[in-house]
Amino acid sequence: MLIILPRVSLAGFEVLSSELRKLNVLDLSGNRFSNNLVSCFNGFSSLKSLDLSNNPLKRAAGFQVLSSRLKNLESLSLKMNEYNDSIFSTLTGLSSLKSLALSYNQLTGSAGFNGNV
């Protein structure tokens, strides 16, 4: 199942998230979500692809919560947001991740993977 939700409100997404437990692909790009969005990802255990590109997201701390809820996530797009290098340490729990898009953020190149990619 694929759902694309352009210009949806955070409140509207919270209502939808409780009903879409078997969703595989979710595209929320091009909205104006804040960092509060990350707390809404309850019950998305089947989600394999998530696109949050082109939102004003900048605090990486919420992704520690996200990584504990989305164990099957294989593709994550965070392009065109406002993340810095702190995003890398918060994504370590996404063990199924195969594709990560971070272009057009505020990265300086000091990811600090230490061979754990």
Alpha-carbon distance of 36 to 31, in angstroms, equals 13
Q: Say if residues 9 and 31 touch (Cβ distance below 8 Å).
A: no
pTM above 0.85, yes or no: no
Within the chain, which residues score under 50 in pLDDT?
115-117
Going by C-alpha positions, the residue among 59, 101, 97, 50 that lies closest to residue 80 is: 101
pLDDT on residue 115: 47
Buried-state track 69-80, b at ≥16 Cβ within 10 A, e below 16: bbeebebbbbbb
How high is the pLDDT of residue 112?
55
pLDDT at 117: 47
Domains belonging to the chain, first-starting first, are 2-101 (3.80.10.10)
CA-based nearest residue to 80, from 59, 57, 53: 53
Backbone φ and ψ for 47, nearest 5 degrees, come out as -65, 125
